[in-house]
Amino acid sequence: MTTNEMTGGEALARMLQAFEIGPMFGMGGFQLLPFYDAARRLGLKHYLINDERCGAFAADAYAKVTGRVGVVDATLGPGATNLVTALVESLNAGIPIVALIGDSHRMHSWKNMTQESRQLDILRPAVKEVLRVEYIERIPELVRRAFAVATSGRPGPVVLDVPEDICHGTYGFDEEEFVVDPIHRAAPALRSRPDATALDTAVDMLASAERPLMLCGGGVHISRAADSVTAFAEATNMPVAHTMSGKGAIACTHPLSAGLFGRYDRIANKLIEEADVLFVVGCKLGEIATKRYTVPPKGKTVIHLDIVAEEMGRTLMPALSLWGDAKATLDELRVALGKRGLKDKLADWAADVPKRMAAWRQDVDGRLNDESSPINMARLLNELNKALPADATLVADGGFAAHWGGLVYDTKQAGRGFVPDRGFASIGYGVPGGIGATLGARHDGLGPVVALTGDGGFNMVLGELETARRLGLAFTVIVVNNAASGYVKALQHLMYGEGNYQSSDLAETNYAEVVSAFGCQGIRVETPDEIAPALAKALAETGRPTVLDVVVTRDPAKMLPAVDNRTVQVKKGDRVA
């Protein structure tokens, strides 16, 4: 048995190396300096970011794209507390993250140490679990625990808190202590199936249905189950609708795709009304997905499959609850239903879906191909549909960037080709999300990454363009430039009428000029016919980010993709899609 004397920081780095982590994002401080030094010597891919929240967003997007654990670090106090917003995104979205946090020297704690705070009290509600290292010899054990918790059940973020004296101290570790279980390098680490009797009941309910419909949420992607959803749908002829997070559960171009449901929809809400059984898979049925708890209408028969038992019955009472992993359960149900003749039985129901979708496209064609300037958002998304290959990834910032993308953008293959920050819907995800998604796409051999963000969200995180440029990442950022906090201004317009706006306007800014100072390629897009060539130029760039500054409508009546169901109804002619 070989014993090596090393710092706690090196032990941390050795454990991360054993888990074969991908890129790690962080901003150093004195507490974690031995870890940084070991990361350098061991060759870990650690990238300096300019804001800790953005580092955690980048780790989140990397994990969403790859399924691997995203890793971020932060130093004592403000570094740690800056992570909160991004960690809540990962917690709510079920994304595996390990956050390494420096803490004060235990001999000096609570003696007015610089930057000291009750950081664990602040972080605890934002994560799945907080682990504090009180003894240096427990570092390997607790790192293993962090990865196990992050990747098991419903995945989520875990904080590993390391006091300064633990990180700087030394201990003689045995080599065998740096051995890990490889199943915890990615999520889901373990899969479970529902009770056998419940599965039999589900088979009977679905086999007896005349118009069943699947409603898929982000849990499908957490389970890496998109191919299983597609196989299940094709084997049964069951149409599939999705939430914003669930986009890609089946390709949007698939004839069984009913598109987005909930607050914004194409044809799905009508299909939900007509369905006799709703099969909800990996979906929390929150406010947006249920159109503020009005979809589905009362009285519908619902089967709810989820890895988190507590989600079932939270917003509606299902007729049957299935507690288990989406992929494992769908594969089992598909085999069982294959013997029940459902595919032939549902042939007419399935054949009606592409007809309705074609009618929707014809109805909104004038907007999808709108020639007016400033640019219509529907036209912008339609140009993205034309330009992006099947293996592209579209990252969508919070606000209406995600809503427009969820409604109009078409994934061309199953999988998480659409990455919105819907766990917390925080503004500012676009650029750091583009960084993480680009590194994830590079790891998985995927195609180009485009990040869609509003000008308000872009203003928050401009500094991360320096990070992306320094790393030589060639992805495209589309800034939806409406010189406003668009979602807020649109809601003020709906509720209080034209001209009654408060604190929702931004200064007119040419972002193409701004980003050139960061060494990025900037292209101003002011007319619809400029979109396609600008996208082509952006996608051809190989060594740096490109920012498309797209000037869209300033009319708040045309900013939302459809009626926002709050207190005001808009006449049908105002609907965009």
pLDDT in tens, the chain (577 residues): 678 999 999 999 999 999 999 999 999 999 999 999 999 999 999 999 999 999 999 999 999 999 999 999 999 999 999 999 999 999 999 999 999 999 999 999 888 878 899 999 999 999 999 999 999 999 999 999 999 999 999 999 999 999 999 999 999 999 999 999 999 999 999 999 999 999 999 999 999 999 999 999 999 999 999 999 999 999 999 999 999 999 999 999 999 999 999 999 999 999 999 999 999 999 999 999 999 999 999 999 999 999 999 999 999 999 999 999 999 999 999 999 998 999 999 999 999 999 999 999 999 999 999 999 999 999 999 999 999 999 999 999 998 888 999 999 999 999 999 999 999 999 999 999 999 999 999 999 999 999 999 999 999 999 999 999 999 999 999 999 998 988 889 889 988 999 999 999 999 999 999 999 999 999 999 999 999 999 999 999 999 999 999 999 998 888 888 644 444 444 444 444 4
Angle at which helix 226-236 crosses helix 326-337, to 10 degrees, equals 20
Q: Which two tokens stand for residue 282?
A: 């990996």
Give the Cα separation of 534 and 538 in Å (integer).
Answer: 6
Report how far Cα 291 is from the mean position of its chain's Cα atoms.
20
Which domains does the chain carry? 3-185 (3.40.50.970), 196-358 (3.40.50.1220), 366-574 (3.40.50.970)
Q: How many other β-carbons are positioned within 10 Å of the β-carbon of residue 536?
A: 10
> Do the bridges between strand 521-525 and strand 546-551 make them parallel or antiparallel, or are there none, so unpaired?
parallel
> Contact 320/200 with Cβ under 8 angstroms?
no
Residue 274 CA: distances (Å) to CA of 226, 229, 256, 349, 563: 25, 21, 16, 10, 21
Q: Which two tokens stand for residue 55?
A: 């580092």
H helices of 94-176, where? Answer: 119-123, 139-151, 164-168
Q: How many other β-carbons are positioned within 10 Å of the β-carbon of residue 36?
A: 19
pTM: 0.96
> Do the bridges between strand 212-216 and strand 240-242 make them parallel or antiparallel, or are there none, so unpaired?
parallel
Give the Cα separation of 235 and 338 in Å (integer).
Answer: 7
Beta strands in 88-169 (DSSP E): 97-103, 129-132, 157-163
Strand partners, 551: 481
> Contact 355/267 with Cβ under 8 angstroms?
no
> Contact 90/157 with Cβ under 8 angstroms?
yes
Give the Cα separation of 257 and 242 in Å (integer).
Answer: 8
